[in-house]
Structure 1
């Protein structure tokens, strides 16, 4: 490796490392802000918070890495151009392509590393992150209950005046509102002087043992006139045990989250296998539904409209031409029954079709999400290379280093990339476009920009050729206001 390559690589690595650490720290703060409700006021110790953040860090890399490469490239080549180092290189016969050669190889290696990171580390971290949030209640069962306010814990709203004990599992001044199964508010209130939370890592049930309390329940009489009396039942207890499902301790529906985020926890090979199974199930369900609908109509598949069956001789087929109005063959009472039955069958079939459409749409969305997760692993690798070929020539053109103008360009480009990427994925999820186009849309749109900037930088053309804009305006003014000849 020549001295020039070492110098450029060293300069880029120092800038890249600095930018990466700063941006990573900013995005970590954003993660803390997003999950502040799960971390604040839950009596979590530092070790659990650090573990929580460690599992959430890998998901930040696809955002931080391309932006860091873009900003580092602009700053590095902007500093070189601003300090006339590129001018010295060109006077020595070294072109911009030659100067970018060593960094291009480095970015290619980084793209490969980014792919393997997205394919192996991120799925593992997503799996650990979701399961950590699901099982954290077993380590710290009192985390779901905050002092002095009602906390939503599964089927119960629980308020305690004070928590104590090593793990905050000793509760004092307990008020519990039990949610109604029919969704008409709380009909049951439980008050206790104290209690204790009991859990173990081997059990999936959390026990809340209450001591010295009362149990109140509103009773809804069957007779409407008795409801104005507002009857209720009251009982006292010395000890009362409530069993709570641990999966309800998170405010996030864990089962739904696992279904929605399964695609983020799979590698490329696992996604291929899963997609194959999902496609087969989707096609089989369409075929099965179409066959069931056909059977529900009662029309045989190989029917002949010119042949009807005589009722008195069911075995013998009689060739008769059907009349234009089939209902004319029946009495008025039979017509009414036939029309009612047909209307009922049409409505039932319509409801079945609507329900199946929703079910198939959800399954198609799940397939699209898996396809997007599959393409995303390749997009992040390509984005690293694309951002370098946008940032490096852009820095050489604007000839500005530091943290001023480069940050403005980098933020504008990256926001455009991120917005287009998010927009494409949203449309692809709803089957508005193919998942391939949704995942690669941002790359397809910004790749011409990378090619254009590289071409203009290597040919010493500015960012904007003002002559192209000013020349037509100047000609127009000359026609409108011709100069007077002396």
Structure 2
């Protein structure tokens, strides 16, 4: 490796490491803010919080890594151009392509590492992270309930005045509001003097044993005028056990468009195997349903044709154009009612199957997007380098000013298009391949254009192209005084 390559690689690595650490710290703070409800007020000790953050860190890398490459490239090559080091290189016969060659090899190596990280480390971390969130209340039951305020746990809002015991599982002054299934408020209230939380790591059920309390339920009569007759029901108990399913704690997620998180836990080989099974099952179900509908229609048509043939034999007529004319009015009404009922039944069946098939297709799309994402992050690092390096050479500005503005604008564009494409693909608006690669397809021409302009010493914007037509227009509108005189 020559001195120039060592110098450029050292400069880039120092900048890249600094930017990566700063951005990683910022995104970690964002993760803490997103999951603050699961961390704050739950009596979590330091090791559990550290484990929570460690499991959430790998999912940040796909966001931080391309942005770090972009910003480090702009800053590195911007500093070289600003300090006239590029001018010295060019005067020595070293082109921009030659200066970038060593870093291109490093970025390719970094892209390969990013792919293996996305394929192996992130799925494992997702698996541990999701299961840790699922089991966090089972490892320490009192974490699910905060003292002195209502805590949302499953289908219940629970408030306790005081917690005691070694693990905080002894409760006193308990008030529970049970959520209504219809979503029309809480109609059941349970109050108890004391109770105990019991859980097991092998089960996702949290038991709440209540002692010496009352059970109140607001009864809603069929008629509104009867409300005064049935205000509420009250019963007392010495011991009452509530089973709370904690598995739904895993469903707390900021991206509501995702159907399941299981696809993010799989590697490329596992995704390929799962996709093969899902697609085969999907095709089998479509074929089976179409055959059932066809068979059902044939049977109903055969029944009607047999009935019409019997009427033809009775009346000794040929088959008319209007088959219903063979029957009397009472029979016509019966046939039409049966046909309408069958049509409605088939319509409901088609709607139900359509919803089911759309859900399965969304699941397939989610797995495909997870598969393509592992390759997108690798290509994204390479693409961001070919955007940032020539852009820094063109703008000739290093430091944390103008490079950050360009980097943020480009990355926001990349992230917005990527998010929009994946969500649109999830809803069958486009193919998952296009949804996952849309941001790369949009920004790759920009990388090619910037590399071409930087290689040929062309500025970011050729002002002559913009100003020349305007200048010609003014020359036509305002004639030259020398010519007139």
TM-score, normalised to structure 2, is: 0.92
| Residue 163 of structure 2: aligned partner | 163
Deviation at 1:310, TM superposition (A): 4.7
| Residue 401 of structure 1: aligned partner | 398
Note closer, same or farther for the CA distance 1:67–1:320 as it changes in structure 2 (3 Å cut). Answer: farther
C-alpha distance in structure 2 between counterparts of 1:162 and 1:300, whole Å: 68
**Mind listing any 5+ residue stretches in structure 2 that lack a counterpart?**
none
Aligned pairs for 1:296-315 (under 5 A) are: 296-299=296-299, 309-310=309-310
Note closer, same or farther for the CA distance 1:306–1:241 as it changes in structure 2 (3 Å cut). Answer: closer
| Residue 176 of structure 2: aligned partner | 176
SS at 2:194 equivalent: strand
Task: Tell me whether 1:199 sits opposite 2:199 in the alignment.
Answer: yes
| Residue 376 of structure 1: aligned partner | 373
SS at 2:216 equivalent: strand
Deviation at 1:355, TM superposition (A): 1.4
Deviation at 1:327, TM superposition (A): 1.0
Structure 1 window deviating more from structure 2 (173-182 vs 121-130): it is: 173-182
C-alpha distance in structure 1 between counterparts of 2:18 and 2:378, whole Å: 21
Note closer, same or farther for the CA distance 1:408–1:182 as it changes in structure 2 (3 Å cut). Answer: closer
C-alpha distance in structure 1 between counterparts of 2:251 and 2:322, whole Å: 62
Q: C-alpha root-mean-square deviation of aligned residues, in Å? A: 2.8
C-alpha distance in structure 1 between counterparts of 2:144 and 2:439, whole Å: 40
C-alpha distance in structure 2 between counterparts of 1:178 and 1:294, whole Å: 47
| Residue 211 of structure 1: aligned partner | 211
Q: 1:477 aligns with which of 474, 477, 484?
A: 474
Deviation at 1:257, TM superposition (A): 10
Aligned pairs for 1:68-87 (under 5 A) are: 68-87=68-87
Deviation at 1:183, TM superposition (A): 5.0
Deviation sequence 1:362-384 (CA, Å, 0-9, x none) = 11111111111111111110010
Deviation at 1:336, TM superposition (A): 0.9
Structure 1 window deviating more from structure 2 (148-157 vs 54-63): it is: 148-157
Deviation at 1:426, TM superposition (A): 1.6
| Residue 433 of structure 2: aligned partner | 436
Deviation sequence 1:52-111 (CA, Å, 0-9, x none) = 111111111111000000000000000011111111111111111111000000000000
SS at 1:362 equivalent: helix
| Residue 139 of structure 1: aligned partner | 139
| Residue 386 of structure 1: aligned partner | 383
SS at 2:437 equivalent: helix
C-alpha distance in structure 2 between counterparts of 1:251 and 1:151, whole Å: 16
Q: 2:449 aligns with which of 441, 449, 452?
A: 452
Note closer, same or farther for the CA distance 1:73–1:302 as it changes in structure 2 (3 Å cut). Answer: farther
Aligned pairs for 1:52-91 (under 5 A) are: 52-91=52-91
Task: Tell me whether 1:130 sits opposite 2:146 in the alignment.
Answer: no
Note closer, same or farther for the CA distance 1:112–1:321 as it changes in structure 2 (3 Å cut). Answer: farther
C-alpha distance in structure 1 between counterparts of 2:113 and 2:415, whole Å: 21
| Residue 47 of structure 2: aligned partner | 47
Deviation at 1:311, TM superposition (A): 7.7
| Residue 21 of structure 1: aligned partner | 21
Q: 1:412 aligns with which of 409, 412, 415?
A: 409
Contact 1:153 1:248 in 2 (8 A): no
SS at 2:152 equivalent: strand
SS at 1:229 equivalent: coil
Contact 1:219 1:230 in 2 (8 A): yes
Note closer, same or farther for the CA distance 1:423–1:249 as it changes in structure 2 (3 Å cut). Answer: closer
SS at 1:228 equivalent: coil
Contact 2:257 2:423 in 1 (8 A): no
C-alpha distance in structure 2 between counterparts of 1:84 and 1:35, whole Å: 47
C-alpha distance in structure 2 between counterparts of 1:26 and 1:330, whole Å: 79
Note closer, same or farther for the CA distance 1:307–1:335 as it changes in structure 2 (3 Å cut). Answer: closer
Deviation at 1:218, TM superposition (A): 4.0
TM-score, normalised to structure 1, is: 0.92
| Residue 316 of structure 1: aligned partner | none
Deviation sequence 1:136-185 (CA, Å, 0-9, x none) = 11112122212222222223221111223332222121011233455554
Task: Tell me whether 1:121 sits opposite 2:118 in the alignment.
Answer: no
**Mind listing any 5+ residue stretches in structure 1 that lack a counterpart?**
314-318
C-alpha distance in structure 2 between counterparts of 1:300 and 1:212, whole Å: 63
Contact 2:213 2:238 in 1 (8 A): yes
Deviation at 1:258, TM superposition (A): 9.6
C-alpha distance in structure 1 between counterparts of 2:73 and 2:199, whole Å: 53
Task: Tell me whether 1:426 sits opposite 2:423 in the alignment.
Answer: yes
